[in-house]
Amino acid sequence: MEALQSGAAESRRTHLSGVRLAALALAAVIVALMLAAAAQAYVPGRLVWARTSGTAAHERGFSAIAKAPHGQFYGAGWVETSAAKGEDVLVVKFDAAGRVLWTRTWDGGGGAADDWAQSATSDAKGNVYVIGLAGGVTSSDIVTIKYSAAGKRQWVARWAGDGGSSDDPRAIAVDAQGNVVVAGARYSGPGITGIVVVKYDAGGVEKWVRLREPNPLDLQDGGKWPADLALDAAGDVYVTGYSYHDSVGQAVTFKLASADGAELYKATYDAAAGSYANAIAVRGQAVVITGSAAQTASQEDVLVVKYDLALVEQYRLEYADPRGAQARDWGNDVAIGARGNAYVAGYSNCPPPGGYGYYNSALLLKVSDDGSMAQWARRYKPSGMGASTDLLILDGSDNLYAAGEIDTDASEENMLVMKYSATGIRKWVRSWHDTGKDDDWPGGLVLGGSKALYVAGGGNARGDVYRAVALRIDR
C-alpha cells in the first residue's frame, strides 16, 4: 500500500511539473508575441512596407496615386510590355497591407508608341480615373480611363483634337456627380502650343471642349501651357499655368463654367522678368496658386497668389530666400488649410556662402492670413547633398506631408518624404532608394485612415531596371 501511495504521489509531482513547464512555455510565447507587437507598434515616420514590381523585360513606374475606401489606394503609371509594343498605361490597386488587389493595363493601339498615365483621381465610391497619353506614329492623344473599384473598365475617352496635333496630358479632377474634367497641352504646329480643357459626363461622353491658343493676329502672343486644375463645390473649373507674351512668361489662371465651359473670369500675374504657375488649390471661397516670379533676370522668388472665386486678387506674395540675392526659389505645390492659410512646397536654390555654384534646399512655407509675409519658412538640406519637394498634402490638423527628391550626387536622386506640423516643426524625415544607381522618384501621396501615408513612385533597381514602388509610412 505504501508503495502504491508513493507511486501515486510521484505521478502527481510529475504531472504538476509538466503543467508548470507548459505554463512557462505559454508565458514565454505570450511575451514574445507582446515584444513582436511592440516592435511593430505605430511609430511616426516608420516605413511599414515597400512594394516594388517590374523586371528587365517589363519595366514599370508610377507617376500618380489616388485614394480608395478602407485604406486602399491606386498607383497609376506605365509598364513596358515589349520592345515591339512599347509602354502601356498601368493601374494597380493595393490594400492597406500593400497586397495587390488587381492590375490593369491599357494599350492605345499605336504599335510601338508609348502610352502612360500622368495623373489620377478617385470618387467616393472608389472608382478611379486616370489621364494619360496615347501615343501614335506621328501624333499623340489625351486619353481618360475610368475603372470601377473592382477593376472593371467603365469607359475610355480619347481626345485627338484635329487629328494632327500632339497632345500632352497634365491634370484631372472629378466632381460629386462623376463628371470628369481634364486639361492638357496641345501642340498644333511649330511653336504653337495651347491649352485644352475637356469635360466628360459620368458615362465618358464629351460635354464640352475649350481651347486657349495663341492669337495668330497678335505677334506678341506666344505659347500657353497648363500646369494644374481644380474644381469648386459647384463644379466650376479653375485652370492655372503660364502664357508667353512678348517672350516673357505670365502666370495665368482662368475659370470655366461647369455647364458649358464658358470662360467666366481670368487673372494674369505680371512680373518684370516673368512669372509661372505650377499648382492650384481651391477650398471654400479661396483659390490659391503657386509658382515663381522674377523681377530681375538673376533672381526668382516663390509666387503665391490668393483669389476669391471670381478671381479677384486677395493678396500676392513673392517670397525671397533671405540667404542670398541671387537665390532662385520655386513653389511646386500648394494646399489650403482648415483656417484658410496657404501652404507651399518647393525649393530654394542659392549660392553657397563665399563660394560658387548652387545647391537646392527643400522648402516648405506657410503664408500669413493677410498674405503679407511667410508666417514661417523651413528648409531641409542633408549635408553635402541637395533636396527639393514637389508634392504636398495636409491632414485635418494642417500637418504637412511633402515628397520630393534628395540629390545624392550628380547622377542619382533618392525619394524624400517629410512631415511638418502646422507651426513649422519638423516631425520626421524619411528617404527611400532602390538597389540601383539611377533616380528614384515620388509620383503622388495620399493619406489612409488616421495613421497611414501612402506614396507611389518609381525606383531604379540593380541592373538599371526601373520598377514601380508603393510605400506605407506611419504618419
- CB atoms < 10 A from the CB of 427, how many? 14
Give the model confidence (pLDDT) of 154-183 as tens digits. 999 999 876 667 888 999 999 999 999 999
Examine the pLDDT at 89 and tell me if it is beyond 90.
yes
- Are 363 and 376 within 8 A, CB to CB? no
Cα angle 215-219-222, degrees, rounded to a multiple of 5: 60
Question: Which grid cell is 407?
Answer: 540629390
Q: CA 373 to CA 371: how far, in whole Å?
A: 6
pLDDT at 287 over 90: yes
Note the pLDDT tens digit of each residue in 376-435: 999 999 988 899 999 999 999 999 999 999 998 756 899 999 999 999 999 999 999 999
What's the CA gap between 402 and 101, in Å, rounded? 27
Residue 140 CB coordination number (10 Å):
24
**Would you place residue 212 in the very low, low, confident or very high pLDDT band (cuts 50, 70, 90)?**
very high
Per-residue pLDDT at 246: 86
pLDDT of residue 18: 52
Res. 217 pLDDT band, cuts 50 70 90: confident
Mean pLDDT, all residues of the chain: 89
The answer to whether 280 touches 238, Cβ cutoff 8 Å, is yes
Which one-letter amino acid corresponds to residue 313? E
pLDDT band at 299 (very low <50, low <70, confident <90, very high): confident
Query: For residue 113, what pLDDT is reported?
Result: 82
Q: Place 439 in a pLDDT band, splitting at 50, 70 and 90.
A: very high
pLDDT digits (tens, 9 = 90+) for 307-346: 999 999 999 999 998 876 677 899 999 999 999 999 999 9
Beta bridge partners of 145: 130, 156
Non-local (6+) Cβ contacts of 399 within 8 A are: 419, 420, 421, 422, 427, 475
pLDDT band for position 253 (50/70/90)?
Answer: very high
CA gyration radius, the chain: 27
Cell digits of residue 416:
524624400
Residue 36: pLDDT band with limits 50, 70, 90: very low
DSSP sequence for 356-387: -S-EEEEEEEEE-TTSSSEEEEEEE--TT-EE
Direct distance between the N- and C-terminal alpha carbons of the chain, in angstroms, rounded to an integer: 72
Which residue matches cell numbers 492650384? 280
| CATH code for residues 46-474 | 2.130.10.10
- Residue 217: all three cell numbers together: 493676329
What is the average pLDDT across 49-73? 97
Q: pTM score > 0.75 for this model? A: yes
Indicate the SS3 state at residue 146. Answer: strand
